[in-house]
A and B are shown apart, each in its own frame.
Chain A
Amino acid sequence: MTGEERPTEPVAGADGAPAAQPAPAAEPAPAAQPGPAAAGLGAERLAAATAAMRQHTDRGWEQVRGDVIAAAMRAFRPSAPVRGEHGHGSFTVASEVVVAAVRRALDPLPDASADAVRLSTDDDDRLERIVVAVVAAYGSPLLAVADEVRARTAAVLERLLGPEALRAPDGSGVESVVEVDVHIGGVEVDPRRL
């Protein structure tokens, strides 16, 4: 064997299409294989069968699609508890819920979208810090974008966890001790990619 690749028919959607696809005759028939005529027939049939296989959509996928999506949606992501407080006591919210709520709050923004949301809590599960990484639209005023992201995030935290959960536990009267940081991690020129 030469180790070179024998091309078959072009692969539809082949993002990894070989740049160094050799010519069909570059690879000799393997040892202990049928003679040239027989090998040619086998290769021809294999190419046709491969093309047919690419063009077919398995019925099996249509049958399992719903179950596959449902199973994925049931899967829990590793999630830490975040403490919230209301008039009757405290409760905890999964960090994933906070992440998803922040993402939804940012969805309407025309010039930014959430890329990642990271939370830090203390030993008592109280939220200490939230970092919201976003991708911003090309040409957008980043300071204004960051301010809007910060404001929307703060509103989500207050709504989800309650204003008491964001204040200093020692009653010092500080309005909020939760740090909301915005990280603009990328810029997209195509608004469809936000």
Chain B
Amino acid sequence: MPPPGGGDLLPETVRAADHGPEELAITADDDDRPPAGSEAHGGHGSSSVDDDVLARRARVGDREAFAQLVDRHGPALHRYASRMLDDPSETADCLQDAFADAWRGLPGWEGRAQVRTWLFTLVTHAVRRHQSRHLRKTPKPVDDEQLRTRVGASTSSDPARIVEMEDFVRALDAALGTLPEGQRSAWLLREVEGLSYAEIAEISAATPDVVRGRLSRARASLEVAMEDWR
């Protein structure tokens, strides 16, 4: 198709046909090298692909790739949101909002952060919107029904061990419910989800020093609560 002769709207565009194949062929001198044992195959498999690949596919409308991202990160995001909101219905709404934001935002997402960090950021924003909407200014204790919903299938096959672990989770959930929002968020993101200080700071729009302080206070409070348990 001949170009219309207009100005360059997208200067980053490369007209591959302007170059000879020798110039464009990728050689073994490039930084990236094929991993040992890698095999070429036709089509694009989707099992065990990286988050950034799934995000790239979802950006150009691949809903299956997006669903895989949801399945991969949904449990952790739910674990986090449910403990920030203390309400199953609000948690569900929050996650729906966050993943809808993700789907809408993917075409403009530049990928500077890891997908997982970005999703936690979206959920954190959604949590704040829900908290603001419902004027949840002070934390409230978590009730027994919520705790029952949160405690799920254990990987252990020892019934006594399962009961013990469920008791631990219930006790910790109750203690978390008494923490201020910032401390609770920082502790969950660090201790349960394994995010770095820098990632938590980005998610919570704070500095790493602030995150460090919140974590220290949260740990101290939780240790006291767990000490007093039973």
Contact = CB atoms under 8 A, between A and B. Distances in A.
A58 B152 contact: yes
A46 B26 contact: no
Interface in B157-176: 165-166, 168-169, 171-173
A26 interface: no
A146 B16 contact: yes
B59 A61 contact: no
Contact of A59 (B39, B74, B152): B152
A152 interface: no
Most chain A beta carbons < 10 A, residue from B82, B114, B191, B222: B191
Contacts of A147: 16-17
What are the nearest 4 A-B pairs in CB distance?
Answer: A14-B194, A16-B196, A100-B61, A42-B227
A88 interface: no
A25 interface: no
Contacts of B78: 58, 60-61, 64
A46 B16 contact: no
A107 B19 contact: no
A137 B41 CA distance: 11
Chain B at the A interface: mostly helix, strand, loop or mixed? helix
Contacts of A72: 66, 70, 96, 99-100, 102-103
Contacts of A125: none
B226 A128 contact: no
B150 interface: yes
A15 to B, nearest CB: 7
Interface in A115-153: 115-118, 120, 128-129, 131, 135-147
Contact of A189 (B33, B74, B216, B226): B33
A38 interface: yes
A100 B41 CA distance: 23
A136 B219 CA distance: 48
Given A50-B191, A75-B104, A187 B60 contact: no
B103 A77 contact: yes
Interface stretch (B134-142, B177-185, B207-215): B207-215
Nearest to B102: A72
A45 B226 contact: yes
Nearest to B117: A16
Contacts of B63: 73
A99 interface: yes
B40 A175 contact: no
Contacts of A188: 32
B103 to A, nearest CB: 4
Contacts of A73: 63, 66, 103
B154 A33 contact: no
Given A69-B67, A72-B96, A138-B32, A113 B44 contact: yes
A56 B220 contact: no
B12 A68 contact: no
Contacts of B49: 192-193
Contact of B219 (A6, A12, A75): A6
Nearest to A9: B191
Contacts of A190: 34-35, 38
A158 to B, nearest CB: 10
Contacts of A3: 209, 212-213, 216
Interface in A39-65: 39, 41-43, 45-46, 48-50, 52-65
A187 to B, nearest CB: 5
